[in-house]
Amino acid sequence: QVQVVESGGGLVQSGGSLRLSCEVSGRGFSINAMGWYRQAPGKERELVARITSGGNTDYADFVSGRFTISRANAKNTAYLQMNSLKLEDSAVYYCHAGVRRIVNVEGAYVDRDYWGKGTLVTVSP
Rama region for 117: left / alpha / beta (φ>0; ψ in -120 to 50; rest): alpha
- Let me know: does 55 contact 68? Beta carbons within 8 Å: no
Strand ranges (E), 26-118: 30-39, 46-51, 57-59, 67-72, 77-82, 91-102, 109-115
Cβ contacts of 109 within 8 Å, gap of 6 or more? 100, 101, 102, 103
**Mean pLDDT estimate for the chain:** 96
C-alpha distances (whole Å) from 65 to each of 25, 57, 78, 102, 118 are 30, 12, 18, 37, 23
Q: What is the pLDDT of residues 15-55, one digit of tens each?
A: 999 999 999 999 889 999 999 999 999 999 999 999 999 99
Which pLDDT belongs to residue 94?
98
Mean predicted confidence (pLDDT) in 86-96: 98
Confidence of residue 70 (pLDDT cuts 50, 70, 90): very high
